[in-house]
Amino acid sequence: MVMGERGRPSALDVCRVLAVFFALFPSASLQCKVIKCTTEYLAITSNSGLGEEEYCTALRAYKSCVGRLARSCRGDLAYHSVQHGIEDLMNQKNCSKEGPTFQPRARTPPPPPPPPPVVTDSQERSDGPEVCHYERSLTRNSAPPNYTHCGFFGDPHLRTFGDDFQTCKVEGAWPLIHNKFLSVQVTNSPVLPGSMATATSKLTIIFRNYQECVEQKMYHAETDDLPAAFADGSKNGGDRYGANTLRVVEKVPGQHVEIQAKYIGTTIVVRQVGRYLTFAVRMPVEVAHSVEEGDTQDLYLCLHGCPANQRIDFRNFRARAAEATQGASRTRGGAGTHGFTFKSAKVKCKERLPVEDLYFQSCVFDLLSSGDINFTMAAYYAFEDVKMLHSNSNRYHIYEKDALNSATRRGKNVLLASVLSLLAVLLWSAALL
């Protein structure tokens, strides 16, 4: 490593050390995402011919990027060390805090489409220009897009874009997805009066305006009202030339609706099973991670999972039920119409879910906690949606060991972040002596 005066590391050297550690251990800031800002900064400043003003512009962009992470990185010592390091670098280089910043590198747009032909009443509207088809709009040399999946069902269970499987309380309104292109919010209500068990009773999806493709559209569903159209009564994206790249398709009246948003490569499945709704989505990773300016997405459940204080360890619940006396009812809010023991719940779930993965376990949990036999079908259809929407057939099933390994990794990440934070503080101290 190149050293500063009298052999001490400069603040820039420390930034590079931190960048190397984050590159070696990217999971250390899995929630914080400060590695993305550092990577962009180093990519810009790697040019040895960079002038002073350009260097200051890169620092301001670095500072702006890190500043947008303030909420999701609150309390992360490594993050705060990077913040202080940027300030030191700006002071060393006499950089003004006001001034231009580099704009993010956007994907090269395709050439403009030809003017749309005149469409008469007797002609069928086409699906619109290529810009309104996600895969077609990618440049010729682009890698094929990677797709990701999120599902939300039952009492309620969440499968995140990262394939984490969680059981959550989350009573009331919660955002599943919120990005540049669409927002999804669910409302969860108690299954039984006074019960801790909740399930989704309302769902709202907002598709934002997008170029010449679609107008803003809202889809709203609730118990016993699963419409086959958007809130304004239309079934597509409006009057624009690419309107048919957003469509509502009714698969089973009152039970199963599919929303196809080809312009962002996204498919959404909404079902009503019993009295409650289920949600599943397939979308490109790029779309899932697209962030609006100033939005940290820290409550975006499909990306970050449920907050720690809203998670339920249903394995402990199941273990207590297994130890209970044969024939005793195991519901969190009292016996429902159908009382289930641990054994009878397993038998019922086995009818639809023969593999004892986390979908099977969630089915058992829901029968024990609510007594509502319809939750068997909710888990079954959630897994059917995985098979239809998930891009990796080897990841259809998730098992308890996968969830435990994920929790172990998170614990190791916390320890690793603490070690890196201590290293950062020591290095900054050395640089400023």
* Mean pLDDT, 10 residues at a time, the chain of 433 residues: 41 52 48 74 71 84 81 67 82 83 47 49 49 84 90 97 94 94 96 86 96 95 97 94 95 97 97 97 95 71 93 74 51 52 94 96 93 95 98 93 54 47 50 50
Neighbours of 9 (CB within 10 A): 18
Q: What is the DSSP letter of 332?
A: B
DSSP string, 211-244: TTTB--EEEEEETTB--SS-TTS-SBS-SSTTGG
Among 205, 198, 187, 179, smallest CA distance to 257 is for 205
Q: Which residue has tokens 């490109």?
A: 284
Give the C-alpha distances (Å, rounded to integers) separating 144 from 140, 284, 393: 10, 10, 18
Among 273, 276, 282, 256, smallest CA distance to 150 is for 282
| Confidence (pLDDT) at 43 | 75
| Confidence (pLDDT) at 199 | 96
Domain ranges of the chain: 34-93, 130-313
Cα–Cα distance measured from residue 5 to residue 94, given in angstroms and rounded to the nearest whole number: 18
Cα–Cα distance measured from residue 339 to residue 328, given in angstroms and rounded to the nearest whole number: 8
Neighbours of 49 (CB within 10 A): 5
Task: List the 217-222 sheet strands across, edge first.
Answer: 172-178, 182-190, 198-207, 217-222
Torsion of CA 6, 11, 13, 19, to 10 degrees: 160
72 in Cβ contact with 33 (< 8 Å): yes
Q: Which residues 6+ apart lie within 8 Å of 327 measured at CB?
A: 341
| Confidence (pLDDT) at 292 | 72
| Confidence (pLDDT) at 219 | 98
Supply 250's token pair. 């009714």
| Confidence (pLDDT) at 107 | 39
Give the C-alpha distances (Å, rounded to integers) separating 123 from 14, 120, 130, 429: 64, 5, 19, 72
191 in Cβ contact with 370 (< 8 Å): yes
| Confidence (pLDDT) at 334 | 42
| Confidence (pLDDT) at 69 | 77
**Tens-digit pLDDT profile for residues 61-89:** 888 888 877 766 766 667 777 887 888 88
| Confidence (pLDDT) at 430 | 53
Q: What is the DSSP letter of 125?
A: P
Bridge partners for 292 per DSSP: none
At 195, is the secondary structure helix, strand, or coil?
A: coil
Supply 216's token pair. 């803003």
Q: Which residue has tokens 């079954």?
A: 380
Q: Which CATH number fits domain 130-313: 3.40.50.11540, 3.40.1000.10, 3.20.20.70, 3.30.230.10?
A: 3.40.1000.10
Cα–Cα distance measured from residue 157 to residue 32, given in angstroms and rounded to the nearest whole number: 24
pTM for the structure as a whole: 0.65
Cα–Cα distance measured from residue 115 to residue 241, given in angstroms and rounded to the nearest whole number: 10
